[in-house]
Structure 1
Amino acid sequence: MDQRLTDAGAPQSSENPSSGAKPSGTSGTLTLEVTGMHCGGCVRRAETALSEMPGTTAARVNLATRRAEIDHDGSLTPDMAAARLAEAGYPASETTLVLEIDGATCGSCAARIEGALRAVPGVEEAGFNLANSTARARVLTGAVTPEALIRAVEAAGYGAQEALSGASAAEQAEARQAAEAKGLKRDTLIAGALSLPVVVLAMGGHVFPAFHHWVAMNIGMTASNVVQFLLTTLVLAWPGARFFRMGLPTLRHLAPDMNALVVLGTSAAWAFSTVATFAPALLPEGAAHVYFEAAAVIVTLILAGRWMEARARGQASAAIRRLAGLQVREALLQAPDGTLSSVRVSALEPGDLIALRPGDRLPVDGVVTEGSSDIDESMVTGEPIPATRRPGDPVIGGTVNGAGALVMRATATGGDTMLSRIMQAVDEAQGAKLPVQNLVDRVAQVFVPAVILAALVTFVAWLAFGGGFGNAVVASVSVLVVACPCAMGLAVPVSIMVGTGRASELGVLFRRGDALQKLRDVRVVAFDKTGTLTLGKPALSGVMAEGDEDAALALLAALESRSEHPIAHAIVSAAQERGLDLPEVEEVKAISGEGLTGRSEGSELRIGNRDFLTVPLPQALAEQAAEWEGTGATVLYAQRDAQVLAVLSVSDVIREEAPRIIAALKAQGLRPAMVTGDSEAAARHVGAALGIEMIRAGVKPMDKAAAVEDLRAEGGPVAFAGDGINDAPALAAADVGVAMGSGTDIAMEAAEVVLVGGDLRGVPTALELSRRTMANIRQNLFWAFAYNVALIPVAAGLLTLWDGPLLSPMLASAAMAASSVLVVTNALRLRRVQQALQ
């Protein structure tokens, strides 16, 4: 599935004015992008399948554009056409459209926005994230335009616009959040300045009785009430207008949200006080009290809470902005003649040569062609130690060159670079919905109407039991204000944002947000061997010679230096690490399937498998070779002239951190396992060294998925970590697939979690982040629900049954604002999670 927004929002051509968003019952043309077609026969079958659908008047399928156009009488929907294409074997392609939403403030808003999006024909799935105000819709490509989704959201009472992607999206989000925080700060200060005199006039006499007498003597109580009326009206009409702009439409649509609760609560307090000020005779005797300060302070405190919440949410989404800040805008392009010119990074193409000065940030992914330098990759991979890069070594865009000058050849540009893919994955993970969020949204959707009903019941109960009209108003207003579902709506998405953002900083990339929840339940952690538990490249693990070991190794390394085989590289590297001087060799020949021959200083040299020897093997060397073969190592036999020279073992090296990681998993109550296509001997040797008892060896790639199923049946939910193409079936079959970032693209596409730097410590780090994030979500949900369960009865006046106080609407609004701030602040604690086994 293509997730890039650039592929999702192409406008319909003038020849196809209709889209999937067109109301059913109106004739028109549907357009879908079709996959799986390879020839004219495919086109005919697809056209036939579409033409036979009831309601179709004509169908055209274009092989070149992979597009199907279906003229219909109005009874056809995109979903029906897509289902028919899938039955014919040509599924319609899907893409994801992203919208920025304005005016959504609580969990009930999320449910309404998602419902409006899902109602658009051609939308397969939709989700809204309150923490970053973005909605994602998975749609049939070509059937739905961003404009159709925007219209649906606007019809539901919210603003919407198409989101940008990449660095532009991050800049847009940062600018939007900054503008939101700035506007809330301004409105909070204005509301505070206007509310302060109201509070002083209304409450000052309760604190200082002399002040009440001073107001009565010098201003007059009626004049004081009029001043409070004017200032409170100004608060509601100016900084508080945002609540009415967003709340009144939801009341009109009979779908009230948090803004509606504020509108009802402040309007009730203001209206009652206004009548008490200008027409007290309309009220019951003794009930003509004013509560202007409640209406003014409710607006002020809720604005203050939203201001603090906006600032905290800005910190929660800092990860994606930090990644965007790693992108470079200009690069030094090196021409074939060596001249340098400054070009925009967007103009670079794979194959371009780019010059890097000391301290430069790398513009794109590539391979070093000239020079040597240490590269700081910590901002992308999470690895704090700079990596030395020489000609032939890969480098990552967004990392920082050290003290050396380099020339690199671009291998990936634009959206294909690792940094762009990380940004896209982080953005999608932060916008994901966990299964638990669906329950929260359903509760929030009915919660606001329930609160309004509770406020009415409270009002009637106070009147019925003789509590007085004024107390009935105060209690019902307090219920409306205190029971805001904001904290419910934020509880899950803000934790996902912070958790996945922190993960990306530690080199753990959650490609899907729901992997956070699934990873918590994992009980078996299975690993591929080669390239995952081991380094994935052979190294010399043993030498036994008849005579001087170093001299024998130098001679054999000189012979192997003429070969490109990985085992030859291992022998040459071992000699270089020992600082050995290699003698001259000549007449080197490779004998396929057997080994190498050559001459040095008049002697004939041979190295290869045991059958390649032409002389008997001494007993001591034979015993050592047998021991090495028992561990699964590759054993090489060498002779010089008519005498055995040495035996060597070459094996894959276990990663240095692997033993500690396996031990840490066991300490957490998890069962480590190994699934490998390598021999039983090699697998058992590595398993014994690491303490892994659950081993599946000699498994073919197509059988790895079945091996994962066996492990699941034996031990419970499985996470599988691998790096190769042969691991893709197991990664897809596991409950959570974890791909090594140093592995293949196919493996990474099949996995839900990617370890960007290929650091195996990312496995326990991902598990820890999953547990901490889910625990954080549970805490947030507990406090969000517990807060409402506890405070709604208090606001209704429960404490007065035991001569306790009646909760003031001012305190109710402060408690409501504090609940949202508490949830976001609690989520920000996830930013302190550290990499496992540092």
Structure 2
Amino acid sequence: MSNEQLLHQPGTRVIELEIEGMTCASCVSRVERKLGKLDGVEASVNLPLQSAHVTVPAGVTDEQITATVEAAGYKARVRQPHYPSGGAGDLPPGSGGAAVGDHASLDAARQLRPRLILAVILTVPVFAISMFPAFQFANWGWVAGVLALPVVTWAAWPFHRAAAVNARHFASTMDTLVSIGVVAAYAFSAWQLLADPFLTAHPGMEGRQTNDGGLYFEVASVVTTFLLLGRYLEANAKQKAGDALKALLNLGAKDATVLVAGVEHKIPVDQLAVGDVIVVRPGEKIATDGVVIDGSSAVDASLMTGESVPVEVGPDSPVTGATINASGRLLVRATRVGSETTLAQMGRLVSQAQTGKSPIARLADRISAVFVPVVLAIAVATFVAWLLLAGPAVTGAELRSAFTAAVAVLVIACPCALGLATPVGLLTGTGRGAQLGILIKGPQVLEDTRTVDTILLDKTGTVTTGHLAVHGIVAFGPYDKAQVLRFAGALEAASEHPVARAIAAAALAAGNVADDAGRLPAVADFSSAPGGGVTGSVDGHVVTAGRTSWLQENGISLTSGNLDALEAAEAAGATAIWIAVDGRAAGIISLRDSIKPGSAAAISRLRQLGLRPILLTGDNAAVAAEVAAAVGIPAEDVFAGVLPEGKVDAVRKLQAAGATVAMAGDGVNDAAALAQADLGIAMGSGTDVAIEAADLTVMANDLGQVAQAIALSRRTLATIKTNLFWAFFYNAIGIPVAALGLLNPMIAGAAMAASSVLVVGNSLRLRDFGK
């Protein structure tokens, strides 16, 4: 059963674990396997974040989960309160999954630093006197052994400790390989020295030159130092990988000024309640999501949405927490607080995306699960093979060659890079996306963006501004234009549709339509049909507004003159709405929608990404054709006159023709189509249900960000695949080279450390995307 299915089971909940002690992909696989043995439990473990996202059915306690992880040899604790399926969660403002990995990486770097410093200080002289005769003196081997001892014990303790913990549970990880390799190199050298105390009795007498023995103190020391350096650099780099999400989660205001009975009080933001009235002065952050009830200003939302141009707001305008009031004083009524805010939801979405795994990542985990035991077997086989090839009389030199090859195999094969390849790339890519106002729901989305070849664009609110305005009125006798607008405005004032709001606004603005108090007549018996129209009673008259089909459904006949007027309005590229009074056509109101400034450039960018843009709209063919021509979409790629339920059919039709379809939309009526599409993209200015149904969410109301989101997703996927290629390639080449005796263990240690740093460094390049 998948996580998605589990989340919809009664009583199912999700917990986030902090896990201490994981060092490689083998650890990840082991924890997931152990948790998976609990009935109904599914876990996704993230190595860089040192965390696990665990779906838990009813009847399984948090204590059972943490005990299972601890039984596997790691420390675990529940990081946040669990939340029920479908709930918004109990995350406090500013919390998020990245904090776990960030703190874990910082702690790891601090703990490794003194060990690394000691290792460097002692390894340099050990290496010098072991490798260069000019630095050698009488009995230098004993000095090298003494200097190397703290390096291979205290400095290398993180490797030994992890190996011992796993050994107690009959398991092995990359630390097992490192620990065995380092201990074997030092123990073999110590045994050689004890067997022949005078092996280095005179300056210039290096054992491997004067007899069949050999000392490997420098190998044990240098390998330890290189691996500590690699892990230290890796911890610092992983901390940087989480910087983007950490910065996002720190955007929220810490305090809010609340207006109570005309008196201002400053309180912590976590004490805000829905309905509180907040005072926001110029330059201050808006503390939480809300609606402006007084004042006007420009709001800078660039840190949340990536849009550089401030948005003008006034009474009844929605505002988002963590955005900045650029000019005037605002009074804002809180509508969402705590874990319900847009910022908290963004953090939750990104955190969950970073914890998830794509199919390619799970393949890497399955390989790493058996990787270490296989490498141990290869190392033993290498040692035995070298001895067998030497024949019955094995000399000291041949024993040294067999030992060197086996140690090199152990060191070069550590699967650190394999375990970091996917999660660090995903961590950096999704974090950078959050900075740009792009939310990627999970790793599978990255795979989907690679295969998409067609994108359906909902016209209103996506390609156009969605802000309709009355362009013209045609009246049929006995009514005049003012009467038509009055009836229509009163009726449409009861609807929330963009067309209705535009007509109602035009009626209110016309001084000869509203009464002396600036009000429109009240409407009674109001009803509406999605995609059809509305009807109701205004001043005792039955008023109907909508499409031709809606009028016909309501038994209203149209004359040829009426239809000619409609045709003329639509031919001019306007959206035309019928107004009928008491069963007779009274007039036509024409509305126009403006195209967003960046739509044409965005559609061009989508074509460059290999996508075929298709315009989808409920408007008539003439309006659709005019918009399509303006943004560079050919007439054959326009679906006009599509009702809300028809959007799903449009997606299915393209899929049936062999297309892999993305759908971009922002309304409630887009949700079903977003869910049906292979890749659903919600515009952030849209509704919660549309965002919930989508795979990608762009927080800005900008089509250009849709193209940027697809480009970022593909770039992140390409980075992950590059990481995995080099991780696999490195091990595939390194192991046989080491087994053939062509690789010095010191070089193997440096290469292994470099591979992890290379993978993390390659992922960090995503931080510059879009700059």
In structure 1, the partner of 2:763 is: 827
How far apart in 2 are the matches of 1:622 and 1:701? 25
In structure 2, the partner of 1:309 is: 234
Query: In the alignment, is the contact (CA less than 8 A) between 1:502 and 1:831 conserved in 2?
Result: yes
How far apart in 2 are the matches of 1:707 and 1:623? 30
> Cα deviation per residue 1:322-376 (whole Å; 9 max; x = unaligned)?
11211222211100x2101111211111110011122111111001112222211
In structure 2, the partner of 1:23 is: none
How far apart in 2 are the matches of 1:168 and 1:673? 39
Query: In the alignment, is the contact (CA less than 8 A) between 1:479 and 1:796 conserved in 2?
Result: yes
Query: In the alignment, is the contact (CA less than 8 A) between 1:181 and 1:310 conserved in 2?
Result: yes
How far apart in 1 are the matches of 2:144 and 2:473? 93
How far apart in 2 are the matches of 1:462 and 1:529? 71
Give 1:393-408 correspondences, 5 Å limit.
Answer: 393-408=317-332
- From the superposition, tell whether residues 626 and 380 of structure 1 become closer, same or farther in structure 2 (CA, over 3 Å): same
The secondary structure found in structure 2 opposite 1:287 is: coil
- From the superposition, tell whether residues 569 and 725 of structure 1 become closer, same or farther in structure 2 (CA, over 3 Å): closer
- From the superposition, tell whether residues 264 and 556 of structure 1 become closer, same or farther in structure 2 (CA, over 3 Å): same
In structure 2, the partner of 1:454 is: 378
Query: In the alignment, is the contact (CA less than 8 A) between 1:256 and 1:449 conserved in 2?
Result: yes
1:790 is the counterpart of 2:733:
yes
How far apart in 2 are the matches of 1:586 and 1:783? 74
How far apart in 2 are the matches of 1:107 and 1:590? 67
Instruction: Give, as a single letter, the amino acid of the residue that structure 2 aligns with 1:130.
Output: L
1:470 is the counterpart of 2:386:
no
TM value normalised by structure 2: 0.83
How far apart in 2 are the matches of 1:437 and 1:456? 29
The secondary structure found in structure 1 opposite 2:327 is: coil
- From the superposition, tell whether residues 543 and 584 of structure 1 become closer, same or farther in structure 2 (CA, over 3 Å): closer
How far apart in 1 are the matches of 2:130 and 2:450? 53
Displacement after TM superposition at 1:533 (Å):
2.8
Displacement after TM superposition at 1:422 (Å):
0.2
1:747 is the counterpart of 2:690:
yes
Displacement after TM superposition at 1:437 (Å):
0.8
Instruction: Give, as a single letter, the amino acid of the residue that structure 2 aligns with 1:408.
Output: V
2:127 is aligned, of 199, 215, 220, to: 199
Displacement after TM superposition at 1:177 (Å):
2.3
In structure 2, the partner of 1:482 is: 412
- From the superposition, tell whether residues 451 and 91 of structure 1 become closer, same or farther in structure 2 (CA, over 3 Å): closer
Query: In the alignment, is the contact (CA less than 8 A) between 1:265 and 1:481 conserved in 2?
Result: yes
Displacement after TM superposition at 1:687 (Å):
4.1
How far apart in 1 are the matches of 2:764 and 2:335? 37
Give 1:32-111 correspondences, 5 Å limit.
Answer: 91-111=9-29
1:148 is the counterpart of 2:64:
yes
How far apart in 2 are the matches of 1:100 and 1:589? 61
1:296 is the counterpart of 2:221:
yes
How far apart in 1 are the matches of 2:127 and 2:473? 88
Displacement after TM superposition at 1:276 (Å):
0.9
Instruction: Give, as a single letter, the amino acid of the residue that structure 2 aligns with 1:457.
Output: A
Displacement after TM superposition at 1:665 (Å):
2.2
In structure 2, the partner of 1:325 is: 250
In structure 1, the partner of 2:434 is: 504
Instruction: Give aligned-pair identity as a percent.
Output: 40
1:634 is the counterpart of 2:558:
no
How far apart in 2 are the matches of 1:186 and 1:777? 32
- From the superposition, tell whether residues 607 and 787 of structure 1 become closer, same or farther in structure 2 (CA, over 3 Å): closer
Query: In the alignment, is the contact (CA less than 8 A) between 2:609 and 2:711 conserved in 1?
Result: no
Query: In the alignment, is the contact (CA less than 8 A) between 2:663 and 2:680 conserved in 1?
Result: yes
The secondary structure found in structure 1 opposite 2:467 is: strand
Tell which deviates more after alignment, 553-562 or 724-733: 553-562
The secondary structure found in structure 1 opposite 2:466 is: strand
Displacement after TM superposition at 1:669 (Å):
2.6
How far apart in 2 are the matches of 1:177 and 1:765? 30
Query: In the alignment, is the contact (CA less than 8 A) between 1:507 and 1:755 conserved in 2?
Result: yes
2:35 is aligned, of 100, 111, 117, to: 117
In structure 1, the partner of 2:154 is: 238
Give 1:379-390 correspondences, 5 Å limit.
Answer: 379-390=303-314
2:596 is aligned, of 655, 658, 679, to: 655
Query: In the alignment, is the contact (CA less than 8 A) between 1:633 and 1:649 conserved in 2?
Result: yes
How far apart in 1 are the matches of 2:124 and 2:45? 37
How far apart in 2 are the matches of 1:622 and 1:99? 66
How far apart in 1 are the matches of 2:713 and 2:739? 39
Query: In the alignment, is the contact (CA less than 8 A) between 1:595 and 1:608 conserved in 2?
Result: no
In structure 1, the partner of 2:528 is: none
Displacement after TM superposition at 1:311 (Å):
0.8
Displacement after TM superposition at 1:707 (Å):
3.1
- From the superposition, tell whether residues 556 and 707 of structure 1 become closer, same or farther in structure 2 (CA, over 3 Å): closer
Displacement after TM superposition at 1:237 (Å):
2.1
The secondary structure found in structure 1 opposite 2:291 is: strand
In structure 2, the partner of 1:412 is: 336
Instruction: Give, as a single letter, the amino acid of the residue that structure 2 aligns with 1:775.
Output: A
How far apart in 2 are the matches of 1:276 and 1:152? 44
1:133 is the counterpart of 2:63:
no
Displacement after TM superposition at 1:701 (Å):
3.9
1:665 is the counterpart of 2:606:
yes
1:334 is aligned, of 247, 256, 259, to: 259
In structure 2, the partner of 1:524 is: 454
Instruction: Give, as a single letter, the amino acid of the residue that structure 2 aligns with 1:633.
Output: T
In structure 2, the partner of 1:614 is: none
How far apart in 1 are the matches of 2:699 and 2:10? 32
Displacement after TM superposition at 1:697 (Å):
4.4
In structure 2, the partner of 1:537 is: 467
How far apart in 1 are the matches of 2:690 and 2:537? 35
Displacement after TM superposition at 1:299 (Å):
1.1
Displacement after TM superposition at 1:190 (Å):
1.6
Give 1:469-618 correspondences, 5 Å limit.
Answer: 469-541=399-471, 565=493, 570=502
Query: In the alignment, is the contact (CA less than 8 A) between 1:524 and 1:719 conserved in 2?
Result: yes
The secondary structure found in structure 2 opposite 1:653 is: coil
Displacement after TM superposition at 1:727 (Å):
1.9
The secondary structure found in structure 2 opposite 1:719 is: strand
How far apart in 2 are the matches of 1:671 and 1:584? 46
1:724 is the counterpart of 2:667:
yes
In structure 1, runs of 5+ residues without a counterpart are 5-78, 546-551, 599-605, 612-616, 639-643, 799-805
1:425 is the counterpart of 2:349:
yes
Query: In the alignment, is the contact (CA less than 8 A) between 2:576 and 2:588 conserved in 1?
Result: no
The secondary structure found in structure 2 opposite 1:514 is: helix
How far apart in 2 are the matches of 1:511 and 1:787? 31
The secondary structure found in structure 2 opposite 1:383 is: coil
Tell which deviates more after alignment, 100-109 or 419-428: 100-109
How far apart in 2 are the matches of 1:477 and 1:700? 69
Query: In the alignment, is the contact (CA less than 8 A) between 1:298 and 1:810 conserved in 2?
Result: yes
Instruction: Give, as a single letter, the amino acid of the residue that structure 2 aligns with 1:131.
Output: P
In structure 2, the partner of 1:157 is: 73
Superposed CA RMSD = 3.7
Query: In the alignment, is the contact (CA less than 8 A) between 1:555 and 1:582 conserved in 2?
Result: no
The secondary structure found in structure 1 opposite 2:702 is: coil
Give 1:693-708 correspondences, 5 Å limit.
Answer: 693-708=636-651
Tell which deviates more after alignment, 727-736 or 460-469: 460-469
In structure 2, the partner of 1:29 is: none
Tell which deviates more after alignment, 651-660 or 470-479: 651-660
> Cα deviation per residue 1:562-611 (whole Å; 9 max; x = unaligned)?
886465864797899xxx9967975876899799999xxxxxxx999999
1:771 is aligned, of 714, 717, 722, to: 714
1:226 is the counterpart of 2:142:
yes
1:176 is the counterpart of 2:92:
no
How far apart in 1 are the matches of 2:115 and 2:471? 70
How far apart in 2 are the matches of 1:372 and 1:589? 29
Tell which deviates more after alignment, 706-715 or 503-512: 706-715
Displacement after TM superposition at 1:696 (Å):
4.2
Displacement after TM superposition at 1:703 (Å):
4.8
- From the superposition, tell whether residues 597 and 483 of structure 1 become closer, same or farther in structure 2 (CA, over 3 Å): closer
The secondary structure found in structure 2 opposite 1:437 is: helix
The secondary structure found in structure 2 opposite 1:368 is: strand
Give 1:666-681 correspondences, 5 Å limit.
Answer: 666-679=607-620
Query: In the alignment, is the contact (CA less than 8 A) between 1:597 and 1:607 conserved in 2?
Result: no
2:749 is aligned, of 786, 790, 813, to: 813
Displacement after TM superposition at 1:94 (Å):
1.9
Tell which deviates more after alignment, 781-790 or 466-475: 466-475
How far apart in 2 are the matches of 1:373 and 1:301? 56
